[in-house]
Structure 1
């Protein structure tokens, strides 16, 4: 096999591997998704009260996430927020699917198929009033609440969970909701 063909084959394998990884985000080793998860209780509107700033949400305030069930069993994800500097409304719609089993809070979400990001619910209020989510890496962390208010208890818990999974607590941005 010529060097050129060998190089093309290697590039093809690398590209295939990257596409596979993009479609199958991994659960980080130090992250344990919740079990006994009930999707029906999780569906509905959530306020994003904290996050590690990321390029998709940079500068957004009054951010929300709304989850509804699709006919095929996947979850429709509608994220929205206001661009603080302009007041312009921004929305993104995606699809979430379970990674392993339906009673574990390990999902993957795509806003641009075939590319997926991890969505691992690592802490969840027993009444489904707040949730703490870690993505495929410490670059992605969210705290969701059914209300716009953040109690001191939830704030302290989010910081504790963040520290446990390798997220630097001062990287958490508390999102303006009012």
Structure 2
């Protein structure tokens, strides 16, 4: 029995390292239907991270933002920025967003070419009104377990409660646990030129 526990523990640790410490769960990713008639052009532009699940790549991150730009060649560019609240160091990572299926489907994937391991990370928009909020989900299967991540993004660095309530209604609709959300500090942020 202890050999089985050690094996599962090793799998979890390995999986966590690969997925940058997203929230682990026993069993496969849940079946989640994304929103219909997604319009990527309306989604473009600046988004601020209001809340997120813990992820190692965002450890100690504050002032997190993402800017999506149509490159005109069929590719969508994403620039993610954050500042470490421990060191004050600003960091930027650039990636490419693409549709996984149909162009009106909100199942996307993101790839960051500067990372040592090139992985297409799931990026599913579960709900958005394009002007105020978006709820994004990511889940990857690793045999006996899966790793899950969720973000609430807003167009405003300081969204009003009514906007957050709309985002929470999407989270609740899909049965995503609010227990793992961490509020992102957006105070005293430097201005980035995108």
**Ranges of 4+ aligned residues in structure 1 off by more than 4 Å:** none
Aligned twin of 1:124: 128
Matched-pair contact (CA < 8 Å) for 2:136–2:152:
yes
Query: RMSD across aligned C-alpha pairs, in angstroms?
Result: 2.1
Whole-angstrom CA distance in 2 between matches of 1:175 and 1:123: 20
Cα displacement string for residues 100-156 of structure 1 (whole angstroms, at most 9, x for unaligned residues): 01111110001146411111000111x532111001256211111110122223333
| Residue 81, structure 1, aligned to residue 112, structure 2 | no
Question: CA shift at 1:177, angstroms?
Answer: 0.9
The alignment of Structure 1 onto Structure 2 pairs a total of residues equal to: 151
Per the TM alignment, residue 29 of structure 1 is displaced from its structure 2 partner at its CA by 4.0
Residue of 143, 150, 153 corresponding to 2:159: 150
- Secondary structure of the residue aligned to 1:171 is coil
Q: Structure 1 regions of 5+ residues with no counterpart?
A: 1-21, 23-27
1:130 & 1:114 partners in 2: Cα distance?
29
Asked which structure has the greater CA Rg, the reply is: 1
Matched residues in 2 for 1:164 and 1:36: separation?
A: 18
Which residue of the partner structure matches residue 119 of structure 2? 115
Which moves more between the two structures, 77-86 or 128-137? 128-137
Return the TM-score normalized by structure 2.
0.70
Q: Which residue of 1 aligns with 2:22?
A: none
Match of 2:67 in 1: 66
Q: 2:99 matched to which residue of 1? A: 98
